[in-house]
Amino acid sequence: MSSAPLRVTENPMKLLVIVRNPKNPSFRKRVEPYLDMLKERGVDCHLEILTGKSWSECRALYRSAQNYDGVWLQKKAMNFWDGRLLRKNARRLIFDIDDATMFRPLSIDAKPNRNRNRRVGRAIRMSDLAIVGNEVLAEHAYGYGANRVEIIPTGLATSRYIPKVVEGNPSTIKLVWIGSSSTLKLLRQFESTLRALGEAMPNLVLQIIADADLHIPSLTTESLAWSHDHEAEMLAGADIGIAPMLDTPFTRGKCAFKVLQYMASGLPTVTSPVGANAKYIQPGVTGFHANTAEEWIKAVRTLANDAELRKSMGQAARDLTCTEFDFGVLGPRICDAIIETLQS
């Protein structure tokens, strides 16, 4: 937990929180956990959801910002007129972003999508505070001319995750990948590497926790339907987390949440050394980096054959998430940044 004294408002303040969809993982990881914490610090949060609102209802919502001490806008890029209206009425504006949404997910083009780039840049420039999930996004924010940037990583409730119990080397080694149908396309780009893993190690099983299936020739796969209530249990049943990812402008800006989930579950992780994944997975400590198929096979085989290594790396990974990425650790930081902005 932060050792700095917590900033509490002297007078109750009102914060308008605008999100696109409360079912969006970004809301659950970066906004929702902190609403009660802000209330305890003297900031009453009023949540408004954009999904389902008409154009006129959205405009009315932006005008209502004048009735609050500030607005917390989550991952909503702005067109010119909406941005102008919101900025005109918002006393203070806070913008949160955890993905490089100015780039297309599957594109290797170094140039951002023109329309997305303009809208994201506008939202960042007009904000008094931009809260970003990692250093790459911070660089983008400064490039857009941000007034103030705070890097606060995506967090999680480590108490929800069940630490893996390692008991020797099982006959079947279970790899796990967790995601969704939208991110599964990033895993499909590594089909040749996954196929090579299956050919080199017939005792591997890849468990895919998602809302879609993926079948890999020569590699046994198991599809597990994602469930918020059971994801921790499913992760704890695996042996090694994997996070293969191409190096693109979009992936460099990702906040490595699946890697944090593996770490909180006490799993060693093999990952492509891209973006935050490369930072959180420390080679030889919490897992391994791998680029080529040969490197992937070597890393997975090393972990599969050494139960003590899996145990020590998993424990180191779990300890790191508890001390640096738990909501209880990040909460004071994000609350302080928001309150300072509202009071400035």
Tell me, what's the pLDDT at 265?
98
Distance CA 158, CA 260 (A): 9
Chain mean position to CA 249 = 16
Q: How many C-beta atoms surround the C-beta of residue 124 within 10 A? A: 24
Closest CA to 248 of 136, 327, 87, 126: 136
With beta carbons less than 8 A apart as the criterion, state whether 95 and 127 touch. Answer: yes
- pLDDT classification of 2: cutoffs 50, 70, 90: very low
Q: How many C-beta atoms surround the C-beta of residue 228 within 10 A? A: 8
Residue-range domains of the chain with CATH: 13-155+327-343 (3.40.50.2000), 158-324 (3.40.50.2000)
Query: Cα–Cα–Cα angle for 120, 249, 288, nearest 5°?
Result: 130
Query: Cα–Cα–Cα angle for 25, 27, 28, nearest 5°?
Result: 65
**The two three-digit tokens of residue 295, written as one number:** 């490197």
Distance CA 85, CA 186 (A): 37
Closest CA to 303 of 259, 260, 271: 271
Side chain identity at residue 268, one-letter code: P
Tell me, what's the pLDDT at 9?
60
**The two three-digit tokens of residue 326, written as one number:** 């738990």
pLDDT at 10 over 80: no
Tell me, what's the pLDDT at 95?
98
pLDDT tens-digit series, residues 160-181? 999 999 988 999 999 999 998 8
pLDDT at 8 over 70: no
pLDDT at 62 over 50: yes
Tell me, what's the pLDDT at 3?
43
**pTM reported for the whole predicted model:** 0.92
